[in-house]
């Protein structure tokens, strides 16, 4: 009996040795052949992943691949020539692929060609995909079909001219998707997007054609919905009724009417309507939604009743470039904190544009109790801003920022606004009273009237001035002045000798004869921005330099003086390397003609080595050195 047991045990061990390797091979390796990868291009992709070139893909070789990228360059390398639909069969053997990007175009032998893929089995080939991105450069149709329980984010776009005619045929089901980003038309053959992606929270539809009844039905819990497209002529919001949408943005459409009644039972916090030919808008359905921010820009609305949203939640209102004859914000006196009737001006950027549709001439802020910021640069029709309650003789106590570049305001009195930190006013300004503005740090003036501008402020740090008539400009009584930029003044001389904190000076004017430099307390000039406005640092949409919304506490730059005849540096008895590079020449720009003075005034007690350096520079730029 024992002998029989030993024989059986030996047989089992032998069978294990004979057959286990074969089972293990089948489980851990994939042969790169036509049976496994029928499409030659996909087979080429697999061969690229075969590190040891043994014709099979091991576990290690397959599991290291988590991203399938078929872009303009790699597709050509895989042999894509546009002759057939790419069949991704076999890609399921890469179980770690969670991100797929298909750019349906490549260059073959110097010629641009466009390709497409077999849609019927796409999600079978990528069973674990979480992020799918498809870009068409010439392919007119992008089809989505089948089912994916893993897909979380979808990004589809048509580029260049194909954007006008290309369309997405969507017949898939992805119950766990969270974000949809589609640029292009949705085919009439498609299912409702809400039925395809019922649990999507963030939906962005650019240059689209949807909006009519039934095209968006089925969404269950939207967080953000963005829709834009000139082919959108009708917007039926009934699909939003009863769901917890928080943000709705409609932009660049042909919608002339918008019924917001379906929003009555939502939890809408933000509504943004921009560049739509809407003439009338009833806000009453928003009263109990918890609306926090309302923005209407570049529309044709001639009247707006803000009493309809005079609730306890609306804190931000933006009405820009609309032909309103009157704007009454007093119904929001207990809640409104931020008001946009134009742009927000930045200290280190130029004033941009005047909005021509704006019609109202008076902006009455006298009743506001919580208003902190008013951005109205570019609201060209405004002639008067009321900051004082005529009955109670009380000013807006909470106001911190007032931006009014590009308006028709001739005179403004902000004296006594003790919390005001930033003030920008112009184009027609002749009088600006900033007395008792003890916290004012940033001042911008576009001055068309006065010839004498003498500023006195213990708190002012940044000054931006532009005006063609001023002949005398004095800032000596602004001890904390850190940055000054000047354009267009007729002043013949500018004296900054007493401004010992002035690290940034920019003058764009060929008429100024003399500039007196201060001996600054610091000499740590560096070319960099520092400390941006914290309100925008966490917002990926607005946090972009080109949009001009960055605000910096400090700009560590230097002096940029354009064609000044005389530069007076006599305040210095010893020149540091930083002073030479940043204040005197802004990176040694004396070598450039437009930065070259004719005379350099120096202190007669200047260190001998510095005198030698100055004379060498003066000789190079053909300037005269004068002792003082």
pLDDT digit string (tens) for 47-104? 999 999 999 999 999 999 999 999 999 999 999 999 999 999 999 999 999 999 999 9
**Per-residue pLDDT, 543:** 38
**Per-residue pLDDT, 31:** 96
| 546 pLDDT above the threshold of 60 | no
**Per-residue pLDDT, 449:** 67
**Chain-centre distance for alpha carbon 401:** 21
Q: What percent of the chain has a predicted confidence (pLDDT) above 70?
A: 86
| 417 pLDDT above the threshold of 70 | yes
| 536 pLDDT above the threshold of 80 | no
| 27 pLDDT above the threshold of 50 | no
- What confidence category does residue 347 fall into, taking pLDDT thresholds of 50, 70 and 90? confident
| 605 pLDDT above the threshold of 80 | yes
Alpha-carbon torsion angle 244, 249, 254, 257, nearest 10: 50
Topology of domain 222-314, per CATH? 3.80.10
Residue-wise pLDDT tens digits, 96-146:
999 999 999 998 988 999 999 999 999 999 999 999 999 999 989 999 999
Residue with the larger pLDDT of the pair 406 and 529: 406
Residue with the larger pLDDT of the pair 621 and 624: 624
| 7 pLDDT above the threshold of 50 | no
Residues 6+ apart with CB under 8 A from 53: none
Residue-wise pLDDT tens digits, 305-341:
999 999 889 999 999 999 999 999 999 999 999 999 9
Specify whether the backbone of 353 is left (phi greater than 0), alpha (psi in -120 to 50) or beta.
beta
CB 439, CB 414: distance < 8 Å: no
Q: What percent of the chain has a predicted confidence (pLDDT) above 90?
A: 62
Residue-wise pLDDT tens digits, 188-222:
999 999 999 999 999 999 999 998 888 899 999 99
Residue with the larger pLDDT of the pair 451 and 67: 67
- Give the CA distances from residue 310 to residues 197, 244, 269, 306, 330, in Å, rounded to whole numbers and listed in that order: 36, 21, 14, 6, 9
| 232 pLDDT above the threshold of 90 | yes
**Per-residue pLDDT, 17:** 37
| 478 pLDDT above the threshold of 80 | yes
Total residue length of the chain: 628
Token pair of 535 as six digits: 């309100």
Residues 6+ apart with CB under 8 A from 24: none
Q: Provide long-range contacts, Cβ within 8 A and 24+ apart, for 48-56.
A: 48/77, 48/78, 49/94, 55/31, 56/29, 56/30, 56/31, 56/32
C-alpha span between 262 and 147 (Å, rounded): 31
**What pTM, to 2 d.p., does this model score?**
0.85
| Boundaries of every domain in the chain | 222-314, 516-627
- The residue-averaged pLDDT of 381-388 equals 92
Residue with the larger pLDDT of the pair 579 and 524: 579
**Per-residue pLDDT, 1:** 47
| 579 pLDDT above the threshold of 90 | no
């Amino acid at each position: 009996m024992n002998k029989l047991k030993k024989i059986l045990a030996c047989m089992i061990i032998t069978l294990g040795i004979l057959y286990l390797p074969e089972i293990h091979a089948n489980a851990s390796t994939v042969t790169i052949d036509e049976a496994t990868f029928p499409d030659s291009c996909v087979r080429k992709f697999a061969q690229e992943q075969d590190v040891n070139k043994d014709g099979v893909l091991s576990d290690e070789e397959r599991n290291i691949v988590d991203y399938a990228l078929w872009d303009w360059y790699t597709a050509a390398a895989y042999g894509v020539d546009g002759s057939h639909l790419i069949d991704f069969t076999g890609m399921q053997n890469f179980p770690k692929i969670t991100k797929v990007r298909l750019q349906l175009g490549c260059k073959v032998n110097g010629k641009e060609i466009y390709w497409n893929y077999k849609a019927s089995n796409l999600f079978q080939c990528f069973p674990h995909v979480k992020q799918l991105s498809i870009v068409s450069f010439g392919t007119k149709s992008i089809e989505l079909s089948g089912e994916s329980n893993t897909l979380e984010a979808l990004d589809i776009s048509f580029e260049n001219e194909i954007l006008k005619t290309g369309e997405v045929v969507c017949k898939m089901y992805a119950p766990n998707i969270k974000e949809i980003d589609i640029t292009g038309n949705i085919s009439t053959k498609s299912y409702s997007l809400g039925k395809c992606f019922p649990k999507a929270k963030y939906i962005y539809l650019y240059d689209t054609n949807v909006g009519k009844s039934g095209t968006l039905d089925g969404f269950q819990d939207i967080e953000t919905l963005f829709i834009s497209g000139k082919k959108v002529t009708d917007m039926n919001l009934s699909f939003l009724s009863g769901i917890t949408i928080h943000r709705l943005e409609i932009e660049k459409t042909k919608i002339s009417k918008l019924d917001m009644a379906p929003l009555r039972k939502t939890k809408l916090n933000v509504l943004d309507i921009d560049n739509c030919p809407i003439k009338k808008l009833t806000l009453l359905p928003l009263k109990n939604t918890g609306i926090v921010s309302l923005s209407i820009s570049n529309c044709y609305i001639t009247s707006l009743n803000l009493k309809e949203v005079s609730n306890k939640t609306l804190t931000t209102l933006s009405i820009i470039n609309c032909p309103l004859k009157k704007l009454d914000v007093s119904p929001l006196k207990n809640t409104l904190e931020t008001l946009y009737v134009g742009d927000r001006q930045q200290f280190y950027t130029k004033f941009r544009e005047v909005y021509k549709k704006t019609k109202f001439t008076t902006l009455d802020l006298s009743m506001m109790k919580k208003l902190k910021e008013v951005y109205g640069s570019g609201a060209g029709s405004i002639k008067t801003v009321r900051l004082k309650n005529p009955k109670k003789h009380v000013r807006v106590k909470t106001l911190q920022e007032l931006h009014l570049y590009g308006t028709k305001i001739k005179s403004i009195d902000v004296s006594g606004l003790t919390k005001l930190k930033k003030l920008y006013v112009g184009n027609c300004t002749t009088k600006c009273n900033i007395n008792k503005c003890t916290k004012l740090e940033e001042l911008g003036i576009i001055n068309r009237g006065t010839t004498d501008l003498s500023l006195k402020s213990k708190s002012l740090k940044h000054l931006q001035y532009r005006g063609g008539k001023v002949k005398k400009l004095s800032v000596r009584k602004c001890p904390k002045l850190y940055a000054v930029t000047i354009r267009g003044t007729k002043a013949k001389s500018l004296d900054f000798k007493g401004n010992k904190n002035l690290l940034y000076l920019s003058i764009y004017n060929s008429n100024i004869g003399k500039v007196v430099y201060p001996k600054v307390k610091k000499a740590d000039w560096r070319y960099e921005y520092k400390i941006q406005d914290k309100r925008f640092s966490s917002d990926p949409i607005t946090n972009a330099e080109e949009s001009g919304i960055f605000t910096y506490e400090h700009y560590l730059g230097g002096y940029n003086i354009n064609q000044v005849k005389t530069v007076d540096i006599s305040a210095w008895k010893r020149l540091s390397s930083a002073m030479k590079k940043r204040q005197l020449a802004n990176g040694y720009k004396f070598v450039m003609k437009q930065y070259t003075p004719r005379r350099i005034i120096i202190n007669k007690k200047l260190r001998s080595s510095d005198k030698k350096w100055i004379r060498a520079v003066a000789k190079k730029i053909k300037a005269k050195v004068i002792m003082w």
